[in-house]
Amino acid sequence: MNAEHEPLLEDLLAGKHRALARVISKIENRSPGYRDLVSELYAHTGAADVIGITGSPGAGKSTLVDKLAETYRDRGETVGVIAIDPSSPFTGGAVLGDRIRMASTVGDMDVFVRSMSARGTLGGLSTATADAVKAMDAFGKDKIIIETVGAGQNEIDIVRTADTVAVLVPPGSGDDIQTLKAGILEIADVFVVNKADRPGADRTVQELRDMIHLGEGPGMGGDAGHHGADAMDAGGADWGDDGDAIEDWTPPIVETVATKGEGVEAFIDDLAAHQQYLVDSGTRAEMTRQRYAEEIRTLLREDVHAMLESRIEDEGGIDDLAEGVRTGETDPYTIASDLLEPVEACLDDLDVDGT
């Protein structure tokens, strides 16, 4: 590791929030050497519960996250919050800045709030978010909450980072449920009907309940929340470490009034129950394995892309190659094959040499 980063890592592991903030800044800015820094974090991760909060705009996500963090602190647990905000079209930074809406925990250093820009990534999550979660985990945060922008069904990307996903649904008509059902509802491990003191809340709860029990939602008919059936046998049952079958997870529906703190304790209990289910069923280990597999794929895509971009520049740039296709001298498939040939040759050499 870069000698410059060693004291920074030591300070982070020692619980210094300034170091945590600096590490996340390096991660988000992709500063030189950040990869070495993140690599060192892995050995210190795995203890935190990672919770994703998503849902349609106006559902009250920020207020609920604020009360959630406050309640965890009352229980003696430390909290990290990553708020994924819309990207500024000018700077690429987070428009909502320091998240002034989280008022209840202002001044409490054991609630570390960081706004991060979505940077145009599908699902509102950039690759940097997963690394920021690792930084908070290595730091020692007990709970890490990721709040997404709630811009549409591509929010499913959050499942790659969160262990438990809560989808907030505001009181409304059946049309709202139908609209959401095509996208983010399928990833819910817990449903939250926030603003439950408003007209239409009971109807929304009933519509969600009907959707689940009709087998249209997660946990019924194949998908056990966002973690799916990967840790299940062909019959749809999970198997615990003791060999006993464990019932599939059916997402509970909790009603909250976040502005008043109502229902937050029940919400936390449901989150804890899902975390326990993940452990008992062996699903958490499978999810972690899948998450790391996706990280490896992502890094390989990024690195190979960067190498190829460099080689294209050496060949005169993409425009020259495209001009060759336009004039009929070559075609895109031949160009791609020629550019990848050295990579394939190197991989073949590794196989032959066994190194």
What the chain holds in terms of domains, given with CATH numbers, is 45-229+238-285 (3.40.50.300), 295-353 (no CATH)
What's residue 219's pLDDT? 44
What's residue 215's pLDDT? 60
Name the packing angle between helices 174-181 and 201-213 (round to 10°): 40
Q: Look up tokens 């699902």; give the residue.
A: 123
- Quote the tokens at residue 88: 């500024």
Percentage of the chain beyond pLDDT 70 is: 74
- Using 70 as the pLDDT threshold, list the residues of the chain that sit under it: 1-2, 86-108, 118-126, 150-159, 173-185, 215-246, 351-355
Residue 54 near residue 61 (C-beta atoms within 8 A) = yes
Percentage of the chain beyond pLDDT 90 is: 43
What's residue 135's pLDDT? 97
- The per-residue pLDDT for range 20-32, each reduced to its tens digit, is 999 999 998 888 8
What's residue 187's pLDDT? 83
| Predicted structure pTM score | 0.82
- The per-residue pLDDT for range 122-181, each reduced to its tens digit, is 444 567 889 999 999 999 999 999 998 765 545 666 667 899 999 888 887 555 666 665
What's residue 183's pLDDT? 59
CA distances from 149 to 79, 162, 246 (A): 20, 15, 34
By the 10 Å C-beta count (0-12 exposed, 13-18 middle, 19+ buried), 27 is classed as buried
| DSSP codes of every residue in 16-82 | -HHHHHHHHHHHHHT-TTHHHHHHHHGGG-S-SEEEEEEESTTS-HHHHHHHHHHHHHHTT--EEEE
E strands in the chain = 49-55, 79-85, 111-117, 143-147, 164-168, 190-193, 238-239, 245-246, 253-255
Residue 12 near residue 23 (C-beta atoms within 8 A) = yes
Who contacts 47 (Cβ-Cβ below 8 Å, separation ≥6)?
Answer: 137, 140, 142
Residue 41 near residue 75 (C-beta atoms within 8 A) = no
What's residue 350's pLDDT? 73
- The per-residue pLDDT for range 108-139, each reduced to its tens digit, is 678 999 988 755 554 445 678 899 999 999 99
**What SS3 class is residue 328?**
coil
By the 10 Å C-beta count (0-12 exposed, 13-18 middle, 19+ buried), 332 is classed as exposed
Residue 157 near residue 122 (C-beta atoms within 8 A) = yes
The Cα 279–Cα 276 span in angstroms is 5
